[in-house]
Amino acid sequence: MAVVMGELVARVYDRTKGLRWIWVFLVLAVIAASLWSASRARFSEDLFDALPRERTLDNYRTLLDASGSTGRIVVGFSGNDTVSMDSLSAHADRSVHFLQTTNGDLVDSVFFRPDPTGFQTAVTEVRKNLPLYADSGVIATVAHWDSVALLNAFADLRNDLARPGAEMDADRIVLDPFGLSDPLIDRVMRSAILGGMAVIDGQLFTTDSAMAVVVVMPSATGITRGKELMQAINGAIGNGPTTNFTGTAFGAVPMAVANADRIADDATMTSIVAVLLIIGLLIWRYRSVRIPLLFFVPPAVGFIIGLGAIAAVRPVISALSLGASAALLGIALDYCFHFFTHLKHTGSIRATLKDVAGPMLLGCFTTVLAFAALSFVGSRILADLGFIAAFLLIGAALTVLFVLPHFAPVPQHTAAVNEIVAEPKKGSALWNLLFIGAVTAVLLPFVNRVSYDNNPEHISYISPEMSAVRDRIEGDTARAVPLFWSATGANEEEARQALENSVDHVRRTMVGSITEQAAMPTDLWPSNERATVRVANWKASFHGEGGDRFKRWFVNAAIQNGFTPDAFDPFLDQLDVDQVRRPAEVVRMIGDAVLVHGSDSVTIAGRMLLPPDEIAALEPMVGSMKNTSVLHRGMLSERIQELVGSDLNAILWRTSLIVFIVLLLTYGRIELALLTFLPMALGWFWILGICGLFGIQFNLVNILVCTFVFGLGDDYCIFTTEGLLARYKTGVDHTRSYRNAVVLSVVTTIIGTGVLLFAEHPALRSIATLSVIGMVVLLVISLTVQPVLFRLFIGGRAAAGKQPFTLFSFLISGFAFLYFLIGCILTALIWLLLLIFPAPKRIKQHWLRHVLRAFTGSLVYAMANTSKDIQGYVPAIKDQPAIIIANHASFIDILAMLMFSSNVVMMTNRWVWNSPFFGRAVRYAGYLRTEDGVEVNTERVREAMAQGLSVIIFPEGTRTKDGTIGRFHKGAFHIAEALQVPIVPVVLHGFGKAMSKNDALLKNALLTIRTLPVIQPSDPQFGEGDRERTKKISAWYKAKYEEIRSTKEGPVWYHEQLMRNFMYKGPVLEWHTRIKARMDAGLHDLLHKRIPIDARIVDLGSGHGMVSFLLGWSAPDRVIQGYERDADKVAIANNAYSRSPNVTFSVADLEGLIPPPADAYILKDVLHYLPPIEQRELILACAKELSPKGAIFVRDGFAANDERHDRTKRTERYSVGLGFNQAKGELHFMTKEGIVAIAKEAGLNVEWATKEMRTSNELVILTKG
């Protein structure tokens, strides 16, 4: 897939070489459109944008907006020790006046001197409406007073009024002489305390009187133009003498402006330093001033496109997401590094595009998908970031691939010079793996110790002055937290009822707590239902006969204590109230209620300050009731921790799954997907472990670095895989170029983000720390893990001529070895049990041989990827003991020879005899050892045969590496002649293929066992004497083996090997090989049968070498030369790990080619790529060089007016269009009559051998003689 994409991009470059200014026009047009779109956007700095959209948080935000808490600005004025309260008050007054008179459009109101009459008026209205506001407990007490109690109560009132200044309480006593409303008024008074603020001499001060406080309520315009508002407030603070005074504003707007200014200052300073360092690095590396300038073009274009794209679909953009997206420029720069570094390596624009376009687009696509997954969280910041990232990276990648090549200078070709970091050496692979394993083991316990900083203030910049004002204004923030106690209903009445029920439940449960003593909005403005209940209780207490009696006693007691009869008429009038009187508006104002009318609901909430422990008790209690909740800023911290923890973990899992699926589809092999993906996962594992080890906390800002690190890691791993695959595929080494690009990218990213360590804004510093850790981890992982794993399982094996591992073969091989290990342990345990079992030794030996037979047989048949073809073995040894000989090419030989009978023992070598796993067991079973010598073993064999045992001996003595049969030693034949016992020859075929010597891979294979005729001691066919018999039996045995091999090892036998040679070389090539091998199996078999096994063969248009390989492997004595125009195909064929010396490939254009002399020429699916004249010339040239009795095999699609030929033409055009095959011009399919005419002209006989049903492909054989 990567090859196809690279070829397509290279073709676009070829066709637009002379039109590069069109690309400039297109880029400028896109930039102009993006800037126009971006100019209409508005930016939001709201922290809530970082959180998912959910009902609870939305309600909290709505209540904050409705209460004015988000806009309110508190300004604190303080001075040195010599400044008095009056001076602070005067300075605050001047500032308030200046702010009100000069900035009216930015400020709605300024609150400094509370109006005392407003609160007093509200209290008076409460006392005028006692049936609604009187405390039920006090009512119950007073209503049960008798005349004596009333006399005592009025006596107390008289004494109170006699106090100095008591005249101020006259109105209160007249309206509510017994304090029926005092519990409610006390609640309201307690709730009115504003943290660390108090009203002193009619003005707002902190409770220690050291700071005057002014509350500014900005207008909507002022909030939008926050910087101008803060300039106005700072100007008002500085109005007048400032020598001994300081003033600082605190609130959402001042914090937002301070953070924006701090970020701007830090970003400017660090960006200048970073850009200078990066430009210096680029100039040093590329020895060019122009290249560093071009480096910044794709990131800039991508950023503008991303900004314009999101502005087109979202009118309001999260400013935080825009700032976070700046980190993505590092990924865009990485694209430039790969392009220019590879360009320096190849010295060719086209070759560079062909090599890097595929992995670059793949890396871009997977990274875009990773960022797109951010939208699943529901956080607006993350959703915006994902959207911007998608268009930024796509725009940058396309600019690098389609625009930059037309303007990039080609640096001097330096393919063979220095590299920044060398690839791990072959001998160091084990040490690298040990290092990676050790680091992983050390970090493993710390992965789950990662902590999350859920305090939003830790990622915000707060100046010391602002922090001091906040602490004084808010009081002890560790004990007092502002919250909303809210209820929701279909209308206001239902909302009030829900809140009343919740408050009643809590007050009954939390008696004596701050919560129980605080006032709620429904205390002052109850629901209609609650108001009716209260008035009914009032009437029940003071109406009727008891009420009349209470009034008489009341008046008599008042008169007896010196009051006039009408002094308490306002109170007595309320005793007769029998209807609900709604609260006065002024009472509602002091209730501090927040009322929000939604489209289909109404929410009412009260505000209070509570310590965290009471909040913890209050939340579940309120939350358990219907439609009520407690909302506070601590929820933000909890939700941020949840977002940073579980939500983003879920994102990483989803992202990982998406990336892995894309890698799997692209590479077509799960092994390559794992090889590319596992280093990313391991890198993330390391990052978590390092953070847990050193206590580095994640927060809402630096967690975004994870997506950035993941994107770069994805890119690095893909390019590393592509470089390793290119070397494995063609032998061309691009890994140095890719490694250099990775190192440069890491260094520049560390520079770009590392300078943020010098920033003052805490969020920027947290980004720098995590980014530097992530990049260092990525560098170590990408330069060690992937190359080592690739060499261990694929590349290193291929270089040694061994088949690369697949996931299935790795698992089945591991299963087989684990099975073998467990079987050995069980056998050893059984041997121990037999030692102590009271039975004759020979019987116990026989039992142990039964165990060995069952174990070896089960293991052979447990190898599910091998088929078995066994004939004649058991009957041959059934009648009498014999010497059994067999060829030895694999460890499986031993298992196979032991699995049929328990009446056999084997002559083993020192390794088996001394094995710690099964050595003692085989010795106890009566096995023999070759090192003991022929004479000793002769007697031991005699003893074994006396017990009815046959003896298995491998005459070669050791396993052969290539599967051929080695020289036979005479020991087995000497013993057979000395004992005059028959020899049973057993031929083993396919075992060496299944598991070769010095290789742990269990390959797919057909295991064949053939038992040859028994050789009797007196058989004169093999001569006399052990020396002569050894030679003749060896020759006869090898001839029989060759007969079996030639029967089995035709082209079909090697299909598995053929496919393994093209495995990991691209899904298109692998599946093409797999399908074509199956489709053309009959053709390959026919060619093998028709071409002599020692023929000289020329394969014209050999492609990737499929036919040449199959014919060469099937008959090693053949000499095959392949010619192919496509240099890439030739490189792939020559780099096949199983290519034998008798098969070679060369690059050659068949037009005008004079082929070398040969016994057979093969032209398979190639003639239609040549013009008709060249087709004729090539066939005639082959005929001229063809040996007597030789043949030309032509398989092609022959022109015809039918659907079969139309299908052939379509498939060929697809292969050319996709770049799989190369064509100079139009395709020219010969007619059958045409090739017959050419054959007649060359004096060749024509034989039409095969014909396909679905296509017009046919095989014609042209022969001499």
Summarised one tens digit per residue, pLDDT across range 799-845 is: 888 999 999 999 999 999 999 999 999 998 999 999 888 899 899 99
- Contact of 1192 with 1244, CB cutoff 8 Å: yes
Distance CA 134, CA 574 (A): 11
- For residue 488, what are the CA distances in angstroms to 63, 64, 595, 951? 12, 16, 10, 92
Domains of the chain (ranges; CATH) run 1-40+288-417 (no CATH), 424-453+669-796 (1.20.1640.10), 807-1048 (3.40.1130), 1051-1263 (3.40.50.150)
- 62 or 663, higher pLDDT: 663
Mean of the pLDDT values across residues 329-345?
A: 80
**In terms of Cα–Cα distance, which of 514, 537, 534 is closest to 522?**
534
Element (DSSP H or E) covering residue 430: helix 429-443
**Rounded Cα distance, 891 and 860, in Å:** 11
| Cα–Cα distance, 12 to 19 (Å, whole number) | 11
- Min mean pLDDT across 314-328, 567-581, 1066-1080 is at 314-328
Picking from 169-178, 478-487, 672-681, which range would have the lowest pLDDT averaged per residue?
Answer: 478-487
765-790 pLDDT per residue, tens: 777 788 888 888 888 888 888 888 89
Instruction: Confirm if 792 and 804 have CB atoms less than 8 A apart.
Output: no
Using one digit for the tens of pLDDT, what is the confidence trace for 1183-1242? 999 999 999 999 999 988 888 888 888 888 888 776 677 778 888 999 999 999 999 999
Instruction: Over range 1103-1121, report the average pLDDT.
Output: 94
pLDDT (average), residues 994-1011: 90
The pLDDT mean for the chain works out to 83
pLDDT in tens, 85-123: 878 888 888 888 788 777 667 887 787 776 666 677 878
pTM: 0.77
Euclidean distance between CA atoms 927 and 798, whole angstroms: 38
- For residue 423, name the pLDDT band (cuts at 50, 70, 90): low
What residues pair up with 728 in beta bridges, in sequence order? Answer: none
Question: Per-residue pLDDT tens for 927-964?
Answer: 999 888 888 999 999 999 999 999 999 998 888 877 78
**Highest mean pLDDT out of 4-8, 28-32, 168-172, 515-519:** 28-32
pLDDT one-digit tens code per residue, 425-443: 665 667 778 888 899 899 9
Q: Residue 606: in which H helix or E strand, if any?
A: strand 602-610
Task: Choose the weakest-confidence range: 291-300, 850-859, 875-884, 966-975.
Answer: 875-884
Give strand pairing partners of 1146.
1123
Average pLDDT rounded to a whole number, residues 332-349: 82
**Rounded mean pLDDT, 484-509:** 87
The Cα 982–Cα 970 span in angstroms is 15
Helices (H) and strands (E) in the chain, counts: 54, 26
Q: How far is CA 776 from CA 771, 782, 865, in A?
A: 9, 10, 43
pLDDT at 389: 81
Which pLDDT value is given to residue 642? 66
C-alpha span between 921 and 327 (Å, rounded): 65
- Alpha carbons 1159 and 1156: distance in angstroms, whole number: 10
Q: Cα dist. 375→383, 641, 650, 1020 in Å? A: 4, 18, 12, 87
Q: pLDDT of 282-312, one tens digit each?
A: 888 777 778 888 888 888 898 889 888 888 8
State the CB neighbour count (10 A cutoff) for residue 231.
14
Query: What three-state secondary structure class fits 212?
Result: strand
The token duo for 115 is: 């109006």
* The pLDDT of residue 293: 83
- Quote the pLDDT of residue 349: 87
The pLDDT assigned to 1090 comes to: 94
Q: 771: closest CA among 701, 875, 876?
A: 701
The confidence score (pLDDT) of residue 909 equals: 84
For residue 417, what pLDDT is reported? 43
